[in-house]
Chains A and B, each alone.
Chain A
């Protein structure tokens, strides 16, 4: 009885073991040879998709910027420190790339403060941080949807006597490859060199 049981199941067992072994060998479990500075988020999040308006006031979607390595960053133009520092750093990163690589990357700055950040104001703001950057915003529900998709959120402080208010938002940079698949999450305290290293690796891996 017992031997028959095993004989019948040997095929299934060996097939399962082969499958597991091949999965392990081919690296389907996120085996990543590249030594990233950012955090590898392959498979943890959905591909890049959004429905927003750009700084010319035109509605755009994720496909409009496809084919490039994209860095997504949430912020607002009245942001005192985090956003300017991060955008300045990203400008440094892209302008330090070889000229032929510069067009392969794009920074997407999403303002989560649509009340104050009109497309015109956004355009002026992002132009200050170089050429390879696009300012995006939208209605609050659209922005909430995008933030939820990437497991982040934002919140508004009560306005002070001068009408100014702080906005809490993600401090991370989400990096997507050419296909729009999520690849890395960069903390804003990484240096420009560290970010550049990862970007170059991403640009070169599938070109």
Chain B
């Protein structure tokens, strides 16, 4: 196999390629056209691009082939789509680019788009966001549903896209750079609680897969593996990918939130105190 075979999609999805091209296109044009003082630094641009690229790579290169026929590669794919990719994108804070494009939308259109904002606000309620984030992992890993999703091309695409979109929503809620003291973003305490709950719930599932004595996901057995790997090893590796990295990411997220909270501790309250003092 040539290098090209590894880079070209195994299962070409025009809609997926188009979506990624639009995202990168809008991001790039936004960057060039926006005023200099708003433009994110090169590290942030790099993080965003890397996040988008790895999500694209696991969906539209040869990686997808191995993800379809190996359980542990599939778990790696979801680790990127639901965790690492969206985390990089959220940490890169693409808000200035989004704001730039939002201001370009005509007021009439903005009104028409308002229901979308309502849906977004409902989805970003901490409890709903947590339920969706963990619920989707459990849903697609439910053995009978997982079986169907790996057999049906349509379901497979729905699965991967739902994981990616939900990952973006969830990690944006967590890493929203706007300080909660002065904006409507979620408070740091709640963010940490949501992260801890998500971590624990994922650990339950991961541990269950790791310590299962029987084959839980036999679709890979039935449909053939990409290479002859011992089914138990495959399941063990896949379980560990569900178990350890997501738990680690929850803890890292909590640490990051703690740091931010300590950084901003007193910043806004002192400011308001000063304001009060000058006023009186």
Q: Which residues of A contact B (CB under 8 A)?
A: 39, 41, 43-45, 74, 147-148, 151-155, 157, 166, 168-172, 185, 187
Contact = CB atoms under 8 A, between A and B. Distances in A.
Given A44-B148, A151-B223, A155-B224, 9 more contacts: A148-B11, A152-B224, A153-B224, A155-B226, A155-B227, A168-B227, A170-B223, A172-B222, A187-B218
Nearest to A154: B224
B151 A45 contact: yes
- For B11, B69, B155, B224, the residue with the greatest tally of chain A CB atoms inside 10 Å of its CB is B224
Contacts of B65: 153
Given A148-B11, A166-B228, A168-B228, A153 B223 contact: yes
A9 to B, nearest CB: 15
Nearest to B224: A170
Contacts of A185: 151, 222
B153 interface: yes
B67 to A, nearest CB: 12
Contact of A168 (B68, B150, B224): B224
B108 to A, nearest CB: 22
- For B11, B152, B223, B226, the residue with the greatest tally of chain A CB atoms inside 10 Å of its CB is B223
A153 B11 contact: no
What band does the interface of chain B fall in when counting residues whose beta carbon is under 8 Å from A?
Answer: 20 to 34
A155 B155 contact: no
The 6 closest A-B pairs by CB, nearest first: A44-B152, A170-B224, A152-B223, A172-B222, A168-B228, A44-B151
Interface of B: 10-11, 65, 68-69, 147-148, 150-153, 155, 218, 221-228
Contact of B150 (A151, A157, A170): A151
B221 A155 contact: no
A151 B153 contact: yes
Given A44-B155, A148-B11, A39 B226 contact: no
Nearest to A151: B151
A19 B245 CA distance: 44
Nearest to B148: A44
A74 B224 contact: yes
B160 to A, nearest CB: 14
Nearest to B219: A151
A74 B150 CA distance: 18
Nearest to B11: A148
Given A170-B222, A172-B223, A155 B151 contact: no
Given A148-B11, A171-B221, A153 B151 contact: no
Contacts of B153: 151
A187 B223 contact: no
Contacts of B150: 151
B11 A41 contact: no
Contacts of A153: 65, 68-69, 223-226
Contacts of B221: 171
A41 B147 CA distance: 10
A206 to B, nearest CB: 23
A168 B151 CA distance: 18
B234 to A, nearest CB: 12
B176 to A, nearest CB: 34
A148 B156 CA distance: 13
A148 B151 CA distance: 10
